[in-house]
Structure 1
């Protein structure tokens, strides 16, 4: 049996489709997914191959920077890959949005978008610098999308949860009561002949 009620591609009905569900089945997401996984592969190939040789040539601050940046790069790419895989699973219907939100709590994007560069960064091999810069740019995009998706899934606060909304509701009620009373007072005045 088809579960069309939960299919984000089904545009029928009055309920809006959350951004998270719509984005997960979009061509833009497919492009981001391919870009992210390609960067993971590039980094793994470099760090397991030419990067090993490059790191042995470094000493001092550059050697420490290589270790720091390669660990940070690996961690960020694992977080990006995890985020992309969870979003793809939601888009394919393999995981519910609720499960994805729980998974998001376990695999948080923990770094700032742009990490400070350690001393010796400029001495690092060009390929590692390229990978780090591309990773930071991709991480920034994923972080912004994650925040946007989170905001689109948050329900608006109820009036009783929000003191400002509660006051606005009370003002609206008072205004409506005044509007209803105004015609009665005017008709009472005209019936008295005053």
Structure 2
């Protein structure tokens, strides 16, 4: 058996064990509940609250809503892939192919940016919980597929196009 085959064999066993664990079930339930909660908030209470924000805070809220939605959809995609693997609906190769499209690095605007102090606390709570969830999923992904190695280096090398665009807009409108 070659070193690569041995690594794939170990990865398969580790992935199967982690995805079948009780901690995955809790993570899956938490992730899907947060997706539903965020969608319900953004379509209801959040929409009404956003209308009462200043122009700067409303722009931040809109940008952060895109980040939140992107973050949660990527996390949900990862969780669904693991569940499909768990149930035998997808092979490891299929999961790896689809997983390559999933990004678990959607950051949030810094809490010091102008306008954060106007953002409703209930929305900030959803954003913070989504960031913690993404970090846990990213850690589990790293443990399953990368043997825990190299996650920080990948995060440093990856870029976030939404964040880059928001930074450019903030600079253009004079809000560093």
- Give yes or no for TM over 0.5: yes
Give how far 1:98 is off.
1.1
Q: Are residues 1:23 and 2:18 paired?
A: yes
Give how far 1:18 is off.
2.4
Alignment of 1:25-104 (within 5 A): 25-104=20-99
> TM-score, normalising length from structure 2?
0.73
CA contact (8 A) 1:20 1:152 kept: no
Higher gyration radius (CA): 1
Q: Are residues 1:116 and 2:110 paired?
A: yes
The alpha-carbon distance between structure 1 residues 153 and 133, as it changes in their structure 2 partners (threshold 3 A), is closer
The structure 2 residue matched to 1:107, chosen from 79, 102, 106, is 102
1:22, 1:90 → 2: CA distance?
11
CA contact (8 A) 1:66 1:124 kept: yes
1:152, 1:93 → 2: CA distance?
22
Gaps of 5+ in 2: 1-8, 150-176
> TM-score, normalising length from structure 1?
0.66
2:92, 2:45 → 1: CA distance?
40
Q: Which runs of 4+ in 1 moved over 6 A?
A: none
- Which secondary structure does the structure 2 equivalent of 1:106 belong to? coil
Size of the aligned set, in residue pairs, is: 139
CA contact (8 A) 2:35 2:72 kept: yes
CA contact (8 A) 2:64 2:109 kept: no
